[in-house]
């Protein structure tokens, strides 16, 4: 059950939020264990709750939490005290609730990593495994710095790809809205005038008129087809076989496929480098990385590599045999294995593909923008030609 509370902390500051517990007494005990004086506590109704809209924890909020926690630990603040302080500063109620629960679990004897593992919707496998390695090695500050660096790089990669597609997508959607409006609402008025005047319709006008008739007759089935297509695609992406087919198609697209592949390679290298550098074993690291690369084919290759490495084989050799990793990745992995500096070599690979993604974004933007403008401009020009040509014919009819 969820309980809404209002409490005073040790400094007299008023705090409020929500807490999950099996009963109101349990919720009250949890708040008292955190050192709070309870002002009010009540069960949350299962009806409409505005806080449901703020449940999602943004990556930026997770990054800021990690940086702040690392800074406090570096200053010598104990983990439980650092978490207690940070949860008062967190604005997102979902993240604040999670940190309260994590702090409660730690005070009951659970490890930091195990406490975080109860909230997989916020803390990824990479985050949890790196924290677990930091607890074992006693080097939590450096590990959290690496975690923050990894989250930041993931954000940058995602933003680069999103930026490359955002403007062209907006341009295409806006253009389609304009074209649809002209075809559905403006064009029919002119057609009516031409038909009443007995003006012969040229080919472009007849084509556009046929499109108008089709849309007016079949607009509902067309919308249903699009909606069902989107739903079907989402379902397919949740199935291993379906995602594999979609990935195979998307990664073969010109320019976009290359950009996504480089993004997956950068994500693979950043993740594996961070885990190995934090002290996580190679087998555990590969198991975790498999779920973050974003490519089903690459994930399958990583599973095969992990199975071979478990038998004592070389990771570089299996990367080469998989056919999913370019020679640069294989060569750097080989050098890292032989020199005992695999995390550093993977870090260099990640930086290389990060730079390649940046270049690919600029190339994609430069390529897509003029193509989108030409397509939308051509469609608008075709519509106006379909309107102007009959006007010339009307003038010719009126003269005779």
Task: Give the pLDDT confidence of 345-355 residue by residue, as tens digits.
Answer: 998 998 898 88
In a domain, 92, yes or no: no
What confidence category does residue 225 fall into, taking pLDDT thresholds of 50, 70 and 90?
very high
Q: How many domains does the chain have?
A: 2
In the chain, % of residues over pLDDT 70? 86
* 293 against 63, higher pLDDT: 63
User: What is the structure's pLDDT at 52?
Assistant: 37
User: What is the structure's pLDDT at 66?
Assistant: 92
Here the CATH number for the domain that contains residue 13 is 3.10.20
Q: How far apart are CA 266 and CA 190, in angstroms?
A: 55
Residue 225 is part of which domain span? 156-400
**Which tokens sit at 383?**
């519509």
Cα 184 to its chain centre, rounded Å, is 36
In a domain, 94, yes or no: no
pLDDT (tens digit per residue) in 253-292: 887 788 888 888 988 888 888 888 888 888 888 888 887 7
User: What is the structure's pLDDT at 67?
Assistant: 93
In a domain, 330, yes or no: yes
**Which tokens sit at 134?**
């930091």
In a domain, 387, yes or no: yes
User: What is the structure's pLDDT at 47?
Assistant: 43
Cβ neighbour number for residue 375 with a 10 Å cutoff:
14
- In 42-199, which residue ranges form alpha helices assigned H by DSSP? 59-74, 79-89, 93-107, 112-117, 125-137, 140-181, 187-196
* 218 against 396, higher pLDDT: 218
Q: How far apart are CA 160 and CA 362, in angstroms?
A: 9
Residues facing 42 on adjacent strands: 4
pLDDT exceeds cutoff 70 at 187: yes
User: What is the structure's pLDDT at 20?
Assistant: 65
Here the CATH number for the domain that contains residue 213 is 1.20.81.30
Q: Do both 183 and 310 map to the same domain?
A: yes
**Which tokens sit at 183?**
């075809």
160: region left, alpha or beta (phi > 0 left; psi from -120 to 50 alpha): alpha
In a domain, 375, yes or no: yes
pTM of the model: 0.64
In the chain, % of residues over pLDDT 90? 11
Q: Are 264 and 285 in contact (CB under 8 A)?
A: no
> If you average pLDDT over residues 168-172, what whole number do you get?
76
* 278 against 226, higher pLDDT: 226
What confidence category does residue 51 fall into, taking pLDDT thresholds of 50, 70 and 90?
very low
User: What is the structure's pLDDT at 133?
Assistant: 82
Out of 54, 70, 95, pick the residue that ends a domain: 54
Judged by DSSP in three states, 40 sits in: strand
pLDDT (tens digit per residue) in 332-371: 999 998 898 898 999 899 889 888 888 887 777 777 778 8
């Amino acid at each position: 059950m969820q309980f809404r509370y209002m409490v005073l902390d040790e400094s007299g500051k008023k705090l409020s939020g929500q807490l999950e517990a099996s009963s109101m007494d349990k919720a009250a005990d949890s708040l008292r264990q955190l050192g709070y004086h309870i002002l009010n506590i009540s069960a949350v109704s299962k009806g409409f709750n505005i806080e449901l809209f703020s449940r999602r924890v943004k990556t930026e909020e997770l990054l800021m939490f990690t940086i702040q926690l690392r800074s406090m630990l570096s200053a010598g603040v104990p983990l439980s005290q650092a978490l207690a302080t940070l949860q008062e500063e967190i604005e997102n109620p979902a993240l604040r609730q999670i940190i309260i629960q994590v702090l409660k679990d730690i005070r009951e004897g659970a490890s930091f990593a195990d406490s975080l593992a109860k909230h997989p919707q916020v803390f990824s496998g990479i985050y949890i495994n790196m924290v677990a390695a930091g607890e074992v090695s006693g080097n939590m500050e450096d590990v959290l710095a690496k975690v923050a660096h990894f989250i930041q790089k993931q954000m940058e990669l995602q933003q680069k790809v999103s930026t490359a597609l955002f403007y062209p997508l907006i341009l295409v959607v806006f253009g389609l809205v304009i074209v649809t409006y002209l075809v559905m609402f403006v064009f029919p008025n002119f057609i009516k005038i031409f038909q009443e005047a007995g003006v012969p319709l040229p080919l472009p006008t007849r084509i556009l008129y046929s499109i108008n008739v089709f849309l007016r007759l079949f607009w509902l089935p067309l919308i249903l087809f699009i909606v069902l297509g989107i739903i079907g695609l989402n379902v397919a992406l949740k199935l291993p076989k379906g995602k594999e087919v979609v990935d195979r198609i998307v990664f073969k697209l010109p320019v976009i496929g290359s950009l996504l592949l480089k993004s997956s390679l950068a994500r693979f290298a950043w993740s594996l480098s961070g885990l190995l550098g934090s002290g996580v074993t190679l087998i555990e690291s590969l198991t975790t990385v498999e779920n973050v690369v974003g490519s089903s084919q690459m994930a399958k290759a990583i599973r095969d590599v992990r199975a071979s490495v478990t038998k004592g084989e070389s990771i570089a050799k299996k990367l080469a045999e998989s056919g999913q990793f370019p020679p640069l990745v294989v060569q750097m992995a080989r050098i890292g294995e032989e020199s005992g500096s695999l995390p550093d070599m993977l870090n260099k690979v990640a930086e290389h593909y990060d730079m390649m993604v940046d270049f690919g974004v600029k190339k994609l933007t430069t390529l897509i923008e003029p193509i989108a403008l030409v397509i939308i401009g051509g469609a608008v020009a075709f519509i106006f030609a379909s309107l102007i040509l009959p006007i010339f014919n009307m003038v010719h009819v009126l003269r005779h």
